[in-house]
Amino acid sequence: MMIMRRRRRRRAMMMKIRRFLRKGLSPPRSKMNLLMKMKQLTLSILIKRRLDMKCPEVPSEEVEEPPNKKHCVEADASKSNIKEKEKSIDQLIEAELQELGDKTKRRFFNLDSGCNGVVFIQMRKNDGEPGPKAVVQHMMTSIASTRKHISRFILRILPIEVACYASVEEITRAIKPLIEKNFPIESQNAVKFAVLYEARANTGIDRATIINTVAKAVPEPHKVDLNNPEKTIVVEIVKTICLIGVVEKYKEFSKYNLRQLTSRKQ
């Protein structure tokens, strides 16, 4: 019971340190020292219990000791293995803390959107690694199959692949590579698509103009289908920034609404 309590305290302390590091702050040295002491104390208790089970005390009156010596040798070997494991755990935790503290090695960055209720997470993509679209698509597929909510506070997750200034000219220019990637001209199979538009803290842009501009950028043989689209072009305007992405199975995944996706009746 005491070990479980120490584990919970250590896990809670680890979460606090990670929150400090994600915000770009250095965690208090006292919390780091307390975490290391708790971890070392827990491991020492586990080692002691394991050794007590492996190597019981042998009365000094007994003369024949080969079996007991064998047990003690095994216990010594297990003790050395545990020490190596303890060292490796220390190294892993230290490496993780250093990686979280080093901004150049972070994969995700929290950017201020300037709009309440909207969080923008920038993702660093390396060669051969999945992009935002693949990550979010995998999350939606997993949630749809398990019906388990992954967060208490997230309502929707939308992958964004293009960001530009919120104007018709900039949107027309920035969306071309995204259209060529998802709606190739030489494709023999026509893809049915729809345009999803939503604006926050911006009333200077006409909704119909943006939707028509994006729809006209998609070449033939692809066509608009608002009832059953295979792909949906997401256009999110937050203040003066336009965020664009392409998602699949938008309606099948409950419009990427996590609560509706997990509570939907079969």
pLDDT of 82 reads 57
Q: For residue 69, what is the DSSP state?
A: H
pLDDT of 7 reads 60
The answer to whether 171 touches 214, Cβ cutoff 8 Å, is yes
Percent of the chain that is helix, strand, coil (3-state, to 5): 50, 15, 35
Q: For residue 143, what is the DSSP state?
A: H
Is domain 120-263 annotated with CATH 3.30.2300.10?
yes
pLDDT of 111 reads 84
Residue listed under structure tokens 């070449």: 219
3-state secondary structure of 222: coil
CA distances from 250 to 16, 84, 170, 178, 180 (A): 36, 49, 25, 18, 20
Tokens of 10: 């250590």
The distance between the two most distant Cα atoms of the chain, rounded to a whole number of Å, is 96
Q: In the chain, how many H helices and how many E strands?
A: 8, 7
Domain boundaries, the chain: 2-105, 120-263
Separation between Cα atoms, residue 243 and residue 171, nearest integer Å: 9
β-partners of residue 192 are: 223
Question: Among candidates 156, 199, 7, which has minimal Cα distance to 89?
Answer: 7
The set of residues, in sequence order, having a beta carbon less than 8 Å from that of 104 and lying 6+ positions away, is: none
pTM: 0.60
The amino acid present at 45, given as its one-letter code, is I
pLDDT along the chain (266 residues), means of 10: 57 69 57 58 56 51 50 55 60 68 70 86 80 91 89 90 94 95 89 95 92 94 94 95 95 91 72
The DSSP bridge pattern shows strands 231-238 and 223-224 to be: unpaired
pLDDT of 166 reads 94
Angle between helices 29-54 and 2-22 (to 10 degrees): 150
